[in-house]
Structure 1
Amino acid sequence: SYLAHLTASKGYNSFRYGVYRLLKKLHLFNDNSKGRILRFNNSLKSLLTKEQNIFEGLNIRYFGPFDGHDLPRIIKVLDDIKDMSGPRLLHLRTTKGKGYVPAENDPAVWHAPGCFEPESGERKSESKDPTRTKFQDAMGSTLVELARDNKAIVGITAAMTSGTSMNMMQQEMPQRTFDVGISEGHAVTFAGGLATDGMLPYVAIYSVFLQRAYDNIINDVAVQGLPVTFCIDRAGLVGEDGVTHHGANDLAYMRTVPGMTIASPRDADQLRSLLYTSQLPDRCGPWAIRYPRGYGHDSHKPMQRMTVGRGECLSRGEDVTMLTIGPIAFEAAQGAKLAAAGGVSVAHYDMVFLKPLDDEIMKEVAASGRPIVTVEDGTIDGGLGSAVLEWLAAQGHNLPVVRMGIPDAFVPQGTVEQLRRLCRYDAASIAETIMKLQK
């Protein structure tokens, strides 16, 4: 908005730009005189317009606005200003979806349209499966349901209302839903401020973008032990969005924050119950609930209170113990079945909470003496596997532990299935790892 109303008009900039090039060509403009000329120009312009361009007031040269789709003009401007010393600001105006009429008419929908017919613009609808619900939709609809009864609940997001399904609450309760734009740090600090006055903020941000607000999470929420719930969307491998969007680090970076409760539901039912539990009067401190992009299994069970720090045994076994967190439990269960076909019996536990870790499950696992495999859709450095190793070390247990998850590397683009194979925590790789422990 500020850039759109700058007093540096196109005509003015063209004139000033031409004068600059002429003076430079005549060798009348050099580094020694530039500062004085620039200050004189800014003063004269401010006197005439009775306004001040903040950039030029800071001696930052401003050029624009130009048509961001006029490539020859942009190349010419960049070529002309590249040899200037000091900071420069080039203002380009563009149209999102330029050149494709459906995208120009509805840029929000066409930001991520999925498959579509290029000629007609018709988007291909996904086949509906009543047993599967998008995690983001489960979050959005549940938050609306809870907010109807709990007037303290407010929703906050950072320029991703539709991507996080916070638009569901925005449509029904616009005065209790806030989109702060691409300002993740502000979203978190704003949530902390609301929480100090008795509100229950739910901050829905993609995992990889929440990293930008790490300092705010610690100093503006966690230090005060404020009841802010972070709904961490797009956690784990996200597929075709690529390396810049994988939510690899949230389990690790949240686990180091004192007082933070961290949970990862394996399905939509658990997600709803975690959200329900997080708004109960006896909740303590900040919460982080992380879930992936895409669909989760859903049996449409009613929401119920969950015990903080309590996991669940999914299957009993005699040879190897497998600990998982989040929806990767389903992939891991397939791996356990493949291992069982090879003669290895696997005990499988869904930990649900990374922090606090379930002490009862860990004591049971340690007492069994079986080798342990941990599987998580996140970096293996600092996540569930690391937490299990730390617990065992602190209790004096010496059991073999193999950690499976995203390696210490940046993961490229590909489908989720391809990337799990690449990172070696797909069902086949899990089965292979389990069976090797028995050799």
Structure 2
Amino acid sequence: MSNTLLSSIYYPSDLRKLDEEQLPQVAQELRDFIIDIVSVKEGHLGASLGVIELTVALHYVFNTPDDLLIWDVGHQAYGHKILTGRRETFDTNRQLKGISGFPKRSESEYDAFGVGHSSTSISAALGMAIASNLKGEFNKQHIAVIGDASIASGMAFEGLNHAGVTDANLLVILNDNAIGIDPSVGALKNYLTAVKNGKNHKQNNMIKSLNFDYSGPIDGNDMFAVVKELKRLQKIKGPKFLHITTIKGKGLKQAEEDQVKYHAPGKFDAKSGEIHIKSEENLAPKYQDVFGLTILYLALKNEKIIGITPAMPSGSSLKFMMEALPQRAFDVGIAEQHAVTLAAGMATQGMIVYCNIYSTFLQRAYDQVIHDVALQNLPVIFCLDRAGLVGEDGATHHGVYDIAYLRCIPNMIIYAPLNELELQNILYTAQLGLAQPIAIRYPRGRGQIPGWQKEHFGHYKEIKIGKANKLRSGSKIAVLSTGTIGNNVITALSNIETSDLVAHYDFPFVKPLDENQLHAIFSHYEKIITIEDGTVKGGFGSAVLEFAAEHDYKKNITILGVPDEFIEHGTVFELQQYCKIDVKNLETIFSSKSK
């Protein structure tokens, strides 16, 4: 890269030394740089490619980091990272001890606010702008870049509603590409499409009605148009709103044509754009597909079954039901609170509602789970995909808190299947007439049974609520696991010489606990070890400790799981090693406890 413009840019101050006419070349080199590295190292591709011109223009026009720039969600911030001191370490992106895939305050002063979930940028930037006014920093700029999928979320509107009655020096840039991870949905998407097509442009502008200085839409992939408009807006005080249109995946033909697949395509050929296809022959199914195929099978036999997801039809595999039964499967956009209460409303009318939300995103609807579902004891079926450690997305996306934050809620059943067979069985059981809500948590990635679909699909067995299962006998130690991490226990015990001393119990129900089984375990074994892929504070192990305290069992109890800290990014295997819940660490722990 010795003869390129990008090679001389370490920070935005270097970028600002260039002539404006050179910026398109910088954009092309930045785009090529991202494609070259992500094609090998993987990561989020399409979102960053779409905003290259905007990224260059923002750092060229504004005086970052003194001017504060916030990227909503952060999927689109790769170009930003490369221009702000991280070009030479960008190949470590999303890898263990490398840079984060999302903006992160502790990583760079240019990352004004840590992000990873949607729709936080406007509120955060407004808070900064109000603080600047209070400190007398009236010329400071505060910029929030938010996508058309994220701006439809309630929190974004809360921020807009407040900003419109302030004199805060806030610039909201709407990056409108009509897609989040999946295509954007809803009435607001239709409104924005009408604006882009020249309808509702002058009259009936909802952003102007909120007291913003509105401009646009302009072509966000036109470098000179974006620079010109940012320079104009730089001189205007108060709340401003710039509507730009961009193409997700811009600059890579395949990424433009298949924006869903190229959001995070895995490894691909940097020149041709062709994705390196991994053979799925003899592989176990993805848990998300077990959910998606099972719920469709059940829904075809039961007309009361409804599917709901907030903006994740592909990631959750609800897409199968949405394609086959579009009147009964709903993508409600990035709106977890709405998704939960919508499900509650449907449940009051006798519908059987499977509400599929990633574990980390259900956190955003905690009040609705308590107030609208559990308090009224409505039998909503929460399907928590991506539970446990999720890998390279890191701290913002790990689903390690759900056991702890759900376990304290009255009426809530919590179930974690050991494998895909148990997942399909609980999905089947849940629609047989449960009288209370249930949360079914399962991980990202693949299961354990390569022949699942051929041998087991459609062959259902009703699960008895609250029942634990003894998987292995032993004389001295009882290992109690919940969920798919139990497969690490199974493997570890098969590898150690003292395995005859160690019993293994699968506790798929964290709530209600199988107290009869626990009484038998505490009466028989000297030592108890619990293991989970959730936080050790307040999780499954804590529930076992509470049981022991309540019944005055004084035993040696060891709790294994995710420690009381935010776990960063890395592969799931590397993070399990860090938490000491991988197979090798378990072998060592079981062997030492057996002595």
Q: TM-score range by the shorter chain?
A: 0.7 to 0.9
Q: Which residue of 2 aligns with 1:322?
A: 479
* Distance (whole Å) between structure 1 residues aligned to residue 234 and residue 528 of structure 2: 58
Q: 1:363 aligns with which of 510, 519, 534?
A: 519
| Corresponding residue of 1:241 | 393
Structure-1-length-normalised TM-score? 0.84
Corresponding position: 1:267 with 2:382: no
In 1, the alpha carbon distance for the partners of 2:533 and 2:361 equals 17
Q: Does 1:123 find its partner at 2:275?
A: yes
The separation in 2 between residues aligned to 1:59 and 1:362, in whole angstroms, is 61
Aligned pairs (5 A) from 1:3-402: 51-70=203-222, 74=226, 77-78=229-230, 81=233, 85-130=237-282, 132-281=284-433, 283-298=434-449, 299=452, 300-301=455-456, 302-338=459-495, 340-341=496-497, 345-402=501-558
Q: CA deviation at 1:335?
A: 2.4
Aligned to 2:585: 429
Moved more, 179-188 or 72-81: 72-81
Contact 2:344 2:380 in 1 (8 A): yes
Deviations 1:307-357 (A, max 9, x none): 00001111111221111111111112222234x325772111110111101
> More deviation in 157-166 or 85-94?
85-94
Answer yes or no: is the 8 Å Cα contact 1:266–1:296 preserved in 2: no
Residue equivalent to 2:151: none
CA distance in 2, matches of 1:183, 1:243: 21
Q: Aligned partners of 1:378, 1:76: CA distance in 2, in Å?
A: 49
SS of structure 2 residue aligned to 1:421: helix
TM-score (ref. length: structure 2): 0.62
Please give the alpha-carbon distance, in whole angstroms, between the structure 1 residues aligned to 2:473 and 2:223: 64
DSSP-derived class of the 1:273 partner: helix
Return the letter of the residue paired with 2:489: A
Residues 144 and 58 of structure 1, relative CA distance in 2, 3 Å threshold? closer
Query: In the aligned structure 2, how far is the partner of 1:82 from the partner of 1:395?
Result: 67
Question: Does structure 2 retain, via aligned residues, the 8 Å contact 1:385–1:403?
Answer: yes
Q: Name the CA distance, whole Å, in 1 between partners of 2:278 and 2:448.
A: 16
Residues 1:349 and 1:55: Cα distance change in structure 2 (over 3 Å): same
Q: Counterpart of 1:317 in structure 2: which amino acid?
A: G
How many equivalent pairs are there? 393
- Cα RMSD, aligned residues only: 2.4
Q: Which amino acid aligns with 1:164?
A: S
The Cα of 1:70 is off from its aligned counterpart by 4.3
Contact (CA 8 Å) 2:475, 2:525: kept in 1 or not?
no
Answer yes or no: is the 8 Å Cα contact 1:324–1:350 preserved in 2: yes
Which AA in structure 2 matches 1:307? K
2:485 alignment partner AA: I
- Deviation by residue 1:97-116 (Cα, 9 ceiling, x = unmatched): 11111010110121232222
Higher mean C-alpha displacement, 193-202 vs 60-69: 60-69
Shift in alpha-carbon separation, 1:66–1:306, aligned structure 2, 3 A:
same
Q: Which amino acid aligns with 2:219?
A: D
Q: Secondary structure at the match of 2:394?
A: coil
Structure 1 residues 224 and 73 mapped into 2: Cα distance closer, same or farther (>3 Å)?
Answer: same
Instruction: Show CA shifts across 1:50-81 (max 9, x none).
Output: 83433333333333333333456545655654
Alignment check: 8 A CA contact 1:260 1:286 kept: yes
Alpha-carbon spacing, 1:50–1:421, altered in 2? closer, same or farther (3 Å): closer
Change (3 A) 1:363 1:342: closer
Describe the SS at the equivalent of 2:463.
coil
| Residue 576 of structure 2, aligned match among 420, 427, 432 | 420
Distance 1:354 1:85 in 2: 54
Q: Secondary structure at the match of 2:316?
A: coil
Deviations 1:110-161 (A, max 9, x none): 1232222232333233323446111111111111111111110011111111
Aligned partner of 1:296: which letter?
A: G
Unaligned segments of structure 1, at least 5 residues: 1-29, 36-48
Contact 1:344 1:438 in 2 (8 A): no
- Whether the 8 Å contact between 1:225 and 1:286 is mirrored in structure 2 is yes
Identity %, equivalent residues: 43
CA contact (8 A) 2:473 2:500 kept: no
What secondary structure is seen at the aligned counterpart in 2 of 1:297? coil
Closer/same/farther in 2, CA of residues 199 and 436 from structure 1, 3 Å limit: same
Unaligned runs of 5+ residues in structure 2 are 1-137, 140-164, 166-200
Measured in 2, the distance between the counterparts of 1:189 and 1:226 equals 11
- How far the C-alpha of 1:372 sits from its partner, in A, is 1.3
Is the radius of gyration larger for structure 1 or structure 2?
1
Distance in 2 (CA, whole Å) between partners of 1:336 and 1:50 is 70
How many angstroms apart in 1 are the aligned matches of 2:365 and 2:555?
Answer: 37
Partners of 2:500 and 2:235 lie apart in 1 by: 68
